[in-house]
Amino acid sequence: MAGLIEHPFFEGLDTDSEGVARVLRRRALVKDEVLFRQGEVADAVFFVVSGRIGVDVRLPGGRVSRLARLGPGSVVGEFGFMEPRHRRTGTVVAVEPTALLVMLRRDLDALCRHHHPASLTILQRLMRQACASIEDLNDERIALARAPRSTVPRVGSRVEPRVGSRAGPRVGSGGGPEPRFGADFELMRYFYRLPFFEGFSDEESGTLVAHARPWTCDEAVTLFRAGGSEGAIWIVVRASVELGVDTPHGPHRMAVVGPGQAFVDPGALSGRPQRLLAVAREGATLLELPSKSVERLFDPRQRLSYPFCWAMARGLMERLTIDTRALAHEWRAATRGTKRPFEQDPSRSGLFRIVAD
C-alpha cells in the first residue's frame, strides 16, 4: 500500500506488512462530501493523505462553528476511537477532493488479539500523539486561565483550583507525608474489576499486578512534580488523584483521575519535558508501574503488552476527548458577548484559537 509512506503516522513501519495492510483501507471524498456526522458512533480513525477537510460542531442553540481545517499528514476521528460507545463530537466534510486512509477499531482490535507487532506500534503511536495533544491543550488552558478577562473561567472553577496545597514532597523524598507500600488483600481482589482491566484475561491481569507496586495514601501526597515521574504509569484503585501543572502563580489543576483510570506524565511518552504534578488524595490506593516495567510492557514479544497498550491508548483518548471539550467550553466563555467564533488552530493538533474579526 504505497499511500502508507505518504502519511507521517506510518513512517518507519513495514508498509508491505500483511498486518498493516489488514487494518487500513482507502477512502476518497469529493468536495463537500461528509466523512462522518456529529452523533454517529466513533468506530474508525482517518489519516489524511491529500486534500483538506473541515471539522464542524453544532453548538447549543443550533449554530454550526468550523473548529478545524486540516490537510495532509493530519489524523482525524481519533477522539473516542477506542471506546465502542463513544459518539462523534463533530461533523467532518471535505473542503476539496481528499484521499484518506481508514482504520476501523474492530480491525485493529483483531490484529492486537493476534499479537501482531504492527498493532503494538500503531497503539504506541496513538498514545504518543494523544500525549502531545494533551500537553498542547494544557498550554492553551493555562493561557486562558492567566488571561486578564473576567469572562474566562479558571480551570476547575467548580473545585479548588490549586493542586497539592496541603500535600508534601514527592514520594520517597523524606520529610513529608508518604504513601504506605502495600494494599489491603481484599482490595487487591477488586483490581480485576476495574475498567482499566477490561479485555484482560485473568492471567494477564494477575501478571500486570505482579509487575506493579501497590501504595496506600493515609493523607494527601504529592506523587511527583515536573521531571520527577521517571516514566512510571499509575492506576487508581480507590479515591482519586489530581493532575496539574506548576505555574508562577502556583500549581494549577488540569484533571482529576478516578478509580479504574491510569495516568502518566504525557512528556514521558511524547518525548517532551515532563512537567506534570500529581497529588493523591487522602485514602487513595494506587498501583505503580515503574519505568522498567513499562519498558517491558512496550515489548512486542510480551503477550501482556497488547492488552496493556490497548488499555492505555483507550484511556489517553478518553482524556483527550474530555480535555478538548473543557477547552472548547472555556473558549466559548472567553468569547461570550462577541461575534468572533473560535476554531482549531491548523498548525497544532486539537487546539483552538479565536478567529480574527
Q: What percentage of the chain carries pLDDT values higher than 70? A: 77
Residue 327 has pLDDT above 50, yes or no: yes
The CA radius of gyration of the chain, in Å to the nearest whole number, is 21
Three-state SS for 232?
coil
Contact 84/71 with Cβ under 8 angstroms?
Answer: no
**Which carries the bigger pLDDT value, residue 195 or residue 353?**
195
pLDDT of residue 166: 40
CATH of 2-114, one of 3.40.470.10, 1.10.1380.10, 2.60.120.10, 3.30.360.10: 2.60.120.10
CA-based nearest residue to 321, from 42, 103, 27, 108: 42
Reported as a pLDDT band with limits 50, 70 and 90, residue 344 is very low
**CA 121, CA 124: separation in Å to the nearest integer?**
5
pLDDT of residue 57: 82
Domains 2-114 and 130-309 agree in fold: yes
Residue 356 has pLDDT above 80, yes or no: no
pLDDT of residue 108: 93
* β-sheet bridge partners, residue 187: none
pLDDT in tens, 46-82: 999 999 999 888 877 777 778 778 999 999 988 778 8
HEC secondary structure over 274-334:
CCEEEEECCCCEEEEECHHHHHHHCCCCCCCHHHHHHHHHHHHHHHHHHHHHHHHHHHHHH
Q: What percentage of the chain carries pLDDT values higher than 90? A: 33
Task: List phi, psi (to 5°) of 260.
Answer: 85, 0
Q: For domain 130-309, give the CATH number.
A: 2.60.120.10
DSSP code string of 24-43: -EEEEE-TT-EEE-TTSB--
pLDDT of residue 251: 73
Give the mean model confidence (pLDDT) for residues 278-306. 91
Mean pLDDT for the chain overall: 78
pLDDT of residue 3: 47
Contact 28/98 with Cβ under 8 angstroms?
Answer: yes
CA-based nearest residue to 275, from 293, 296, 254: 254
pLDDT of residue 275: 82
Contact 236/279 with Cβ under 8 angstroms?
Answer: no
Three-state SS for 215?
strand
pLDDT of residue 355: 34
| Domain edges within the chain | 2-114, 130-309
**CA 214, CA 217: separation in Å to the nearest integer?**
10
Tell me whether residue 287 is exposed, middle or buried, using C-beta atoms within 10 angstroms of its C-beta: 0 to 12, 13 to 18, 19 or more: buried
Q: Which residues of 179-200 are buried (b: 16+ CB within 10 A; e: fewer)?
A: beeebeeeeeeebeebebbebb
Which grid cell is 28?
476518497
**CA 115, CA 356: separation in Å to the nearest integer?**
49
Q: What is the CA angle 145-267-77, rounded to 5?
A: 75
- The predicted model scores a pTM of 0.81
